[in-house]
Amino acid sequence: MIAGINATHNPDKKSWIASANLPDADFPLQNLPFGRFRRVTSDKSPRIGVAIGDQILDLAACAEQGLLEAAGGIVVRACQDTSINALMRTGSQAASSLRSSLHDLLVEDSTRQAAVSRNLLGIAETELFVPSKIGGYTDFYASIHHATNVGRLFRPDNPLLPNYKYVPIAYHGRSSSIVVSGTPVVRPSGQQRSGENDLRFAPSRRLDYELEAGLYIGQGNALGTPIPITESAQHIFGFSLVNDWSARDIQSWEYQPLGPFLGKNFGTTVSPWIVTSEALAPFRVAANPRPAGDPAPLPYLFAEEDQQHGALNIELEVLIASEKMRQQGIAPHRLSCVNFNTMYWTPAQMVTHHASNGCNLEPGDLLASGTVSGPEPGSLGSLLEITKGGRDPFTVPSGETRTFLEDGDEVILRGSCSAPGFRRIGFGECRGVILPARV
């Protein structure tokens, strides 16, 4: 069952924290995303927090002071853990109770402002972490526009492989190299082949980003027990931004016959906040209609509710800032903007397919969507597509040209949701700057 709209989505409600009420605030009262943080000056273990305006509410401190009792004892205990995984494990109803309690504490007419205010800390005063302990990371390939664009570079007459419209394609990534926004990314080195006899080990010259959304698993499933499509939404705790960096030259040499390996696993950047499924309820939309002639999903991947409300209206954008641009004070340059509702497969279909063979998903696992691209030139989610495999350079405001990323380039992903009659909410930023290879 998909989370519905309730009092926590009321757009007329404001917070007593002024920064949460600004029109362009990513984290208004209607959002309340979860993350992990600690003070910049601290060496203690991270704590669970909720973003509100430009502040973080310390949930462990609130739990210790009896401010979260209305959410129930299991939630209070989970909020005192050092990771969000314990909270994810409690299930969607418990997480909803916590959201309701937090809304009541932070709403404008709250009677507990004084007690709550002692547990606030400015986001700028903190160090943020990957929001969950990620045991498993899977990267999907769910954008048909991206799959077609990339396939056309290598197979102009037959860009999509026969299985694409039947199977939500994915591969298992490396969770140990997932880093939080702001962490520099070292240019990888690897084997590359540019001609019949030109094989070398060297720093990648075709380093790329991939604009993706990620979903975090809440309650998992037992090994051997599939997740029905009608129950998948209950297993999704929330969503974030993902940049699955890709070394295209390393990737193209190694990926046959077993798929992505060292061209992918050197680094994946995630935004520090998980926007919950409940917060996203007002932005549910119908799944992208399949073109006439495309096969219907197999029965295990089809549910009417998912087709009607299983996609998400998330506006995603990519910006780039070269080192020269930053030195000259030039604002980041937008490369693309695309809506997540263009995807061929819904999040619930990804979850159901992942568990369809009995694979056990666990709380905190990350499933990335794959590169999000749309049908228009300005909606492409990677440089591989924008530059047509490096053949069409583009120019940034400093006058520099690019086909792929250079050292010093910073890539910034942003995401937000808007809908008539509801408050805009955001995901924060997902940033990473490229450092030279270590050779």
Q: Which residues pair with 120 in a beta bridge?
A: 57
CA atoms of 240 and 181, how far apart (whole Å): 11
The domain locations on the chain are 7-129, 137-435
H or E element in which residue 35 lies = strand 34-39
Residue 1, Cβ density class (10 Å: 0-12 exposed, 13-18 middle, ≥19 buried): exposed
**Residues in CB range of 384: below 8 A, 6 or more apart:** 150, 153, 208, 246, 248, 390
Rounded average pLDDT over 257-279 = 97
CA distances in angstroms from 161 to 152, 155, 220, 299, 351, listed in the order given: 11, 9, 31, 21, 22
CA atoms of 117 and 110, how far apart (whole Å): 11
329: Cα separation from own chain's centroid: 28
Edge-to-edge strand ranges of the sheet holding 315-321: 185-186, 425-435, 410-417, 315-321, 333-339
In the predicted structure, residue 3 carries a pLDDT above the cut 90 = no
Give the per-residue pLDDT at 196.
75
135: Cα separation from own chain's centroid: 16
Tokens of 317: 């954008």
Give the per-residue pLDDT at 1.
64
Q: What is the per-residue burial (b if ≥16 Cβ within 10 Å, else e) of 145-174?
A: bbbbbbebeeeeeebeeeebbeebbbbebb
In the predicted structure, residue 439 carries a pLDDT above the cut 90 = no
CB atoms within 10 A of CB 117: 12
* Nearest CA among 398, 394, 393 for reference residue 325: 398
In the predicted structure, residue 315 carries a pLDDT above the cut 80 = yes
Tokens of 422: 């509801």
pLDDT in tens, 322-354: 999 999 999 999 999 999 999 999 999 999 999
Rounded average pLDDT over 100-114 = 97
In this prediction, what percent of the chain has a pLDDT beyond 90?
97
In this prediction, what percent of the chain has a pLDDT beyond 70?
100
In the predicted structure, residue 364 carries a pLDDT above the cut 70 = yes
CA atoms of 387 and 402, how far apart (whole Å): 9
* Nearest CA among 200, 145, 137 for reference residue 170: 137
CA atoms of 111 and 410, how far apart (whole Å): 44
Tokens of 181: 């926004």
Handedness of CA 175, 180, 181, 182 (dihedral sign): negative
**7-129 in CATH: which number?**
2.30.30.230
The per-residue pLDDT of the chain, averaged, comes to: 97
Is 103 among the catalytic positions? no
CA atoms of 398 and 323, how far apart (whole Å): 10
φ/ψ (deg, to 5) at 59 = -75, -35
Cis peptide before 377 (omega within 30 of 0): no
Model confidence at 197, pLDDT cuts 50, 70, 90, reads: confident
In the predicted structure, residue 195 carries a pLDDT above the cut 80 = no
CA atoms of 33 and 270, how far apart (whole Å): 14
* Given the residues 146, 235, 353, 354, the one annotated as active site: 146
**Residues in CB range of 30: below 8 A, 6 or more apart:** 8, 9, 10, 11, 13, 279, 422, 423, 425
In the predicted structure, residue 52 carries a pLDDT above the cut 90 = yes
**137-435 in CATH: which number?**
3.90.850.10
Residue 225, Cβ density class (10 Å: 0-12 exposed, 13-18 middle, ≥19 buried): exposed
